[in-house]
Amino acid sequence: MKIKRRNSGLKRRKMTGFRYRNKTKGGKKIISRRRRLNGKFAKG
């Protein structure tokens, strides 16, 4: 059986980091939402 998709771990790590998200407007929204919900970026 053939593997259909291989996710690039390197790309994923680069796209989901705190500093990458801080660069974009949408990313800042994600961070602020997570802070509000007391999630991953609770204390900054």
pLDDT at residue 26, rounded to an integer: 93
> Rounded to two decimals, what is the model's pTM?
0.55
- Where do runs of H (alpha helix) occur along the chain? 9-15, 18-23, 25-36
User: In this structure, what DSSP letter does residue 25 have?
Assistant: H
Low pLDDT (below 70) residues in the chain: 39-44
The answer to whether 21 touches 27, Cβ cutoff 8 Å, is: yes
pLDDT at residue 11, rounded to an integer: 81
